[in-house]
Amino acid sequence: MGSTLQQSSAAGVSTARFLARAAQATGLLFVVSVASVFLPVSLLAPAWQHQQIAALVNNGVIALLSLVLIALAHALDPRNSRVKVLRARFRRWAAVAAAGYLLLVPLAIASLAGQIEIEQRQVRGQREQVNRRYDAMRDLIARAPTPQALQQGLAQLDGPALGTADLAEPLPSLRRRLTVLLEQGRTQVLERVKPVDSARRMLMVRDTVRLVVSSLVFAAAFASGASHSEASGSLLGVVLRRCSAIGQRIRAAATRPSTSTPAAPTSTAEKVPVRTRRRRRSRTS
């Protein structure tokens, strides 16, 4: 029995070492997964900011898993100095991660506002460009002294071409007709300018809400992992206490001396009264 307990204790120690290595591997996997998305760097672009926030949130489970693994390793083998050092290091990084995920909340909201502002600015820019072009042609039509000068000006502005019949038309009549055609063309071009897609904006809002809520959850989880006192009511705290209790029982049982009670004396002790009874019966007979 003692050898079995010693084997169980050795298995717990080896499992703790494996969990510590697995914690390091998952932590490195988190760093690689997030760093691969950061390039190329564009700090002031809201779309790039949203991409980085999504990468941190989507891979946050990996980082949280590494913290859980190192905590389980310490619970199985609390005397291992290497595991203690790793756990302290992971706790410091967990505190940094908690603060970082908390900062992602305003960054995600600012990124959403920036993306919406950029889309609105693009639509306004396209409309302003169309209006400037048609305003320039309208001013040219109003100021041109001759049909030939109007024809040259419209050609420079990439406007409608004037034919021979247009050049022969009186200038006031030509101006009125070109002004009407110009406004019709302006209306048609402005209608082709696509406004901000409301469905796409709603998807952006939903994704931002997901990132904000997930960031708050990860911040709370990493803050709990960074604290030195394990939460008594949390599932992680219950698991860690159970693992620690099992490890302590195994080590305590392994250190006890192995004592076994022989079965032979007990059997002889049981047979002695039977023999004495037989002798007494033979004497009485």
Dihedral sign computed on CA atoms, order 204, 207, 212, 215: negative
Tell me which residue of 85, 103, 26, 25 sits closest to 60, measured CA to CA. Answer: 26
Q: Give residue 76's pLDDT.
A: 82
Percent of the chain with pLDDT over 90: 22
The rounded distance, in Å, linking the Cα atoms of 169 and 98 is 77
Going by pLDDT thresholds of 50, 70 and 90, the confidence category of residue 242 is low
What is the widest separation between alpha-carbon atoms in the chain? 162
Averaged pLDDT for residues 208-234: 80
Cα 39 to Cα 32, 115, 217: the distances in Å are 12, 19, 27
CB 59 within 8 A of CB 33: yes
SS3 (DSSP) at 229? coil
pLDDT tens readout for residues 254-264: 565 544 444 44
112 CB burial (10 A radius; 0-12, 13-18, 19+): buried
For 23-82, what is each residue's pLDDT tens digit? 899 989 999 988 888 877 888 889 899 999 999 999 999 999 999 998 888 888 888 888
- Percentage of the chain exceeding pLDDT 70: 75
Q: Say which DSSP state 59 is in.
A: T
Q: For residue 231, give every residue at least 6 positions away whose Cβ sits within 8 Å of its Cβ, in sequence order, or none.
A: 224, 237
What's the CA gap between 108 and 114, in Å, rounded? 10
pLDDT for 265 equals: 47
Is a pLDDT exceeding 50 seen at residue 199?
Answer: yes
Higher-scoring residue by pLDDT: 252, 189: 189
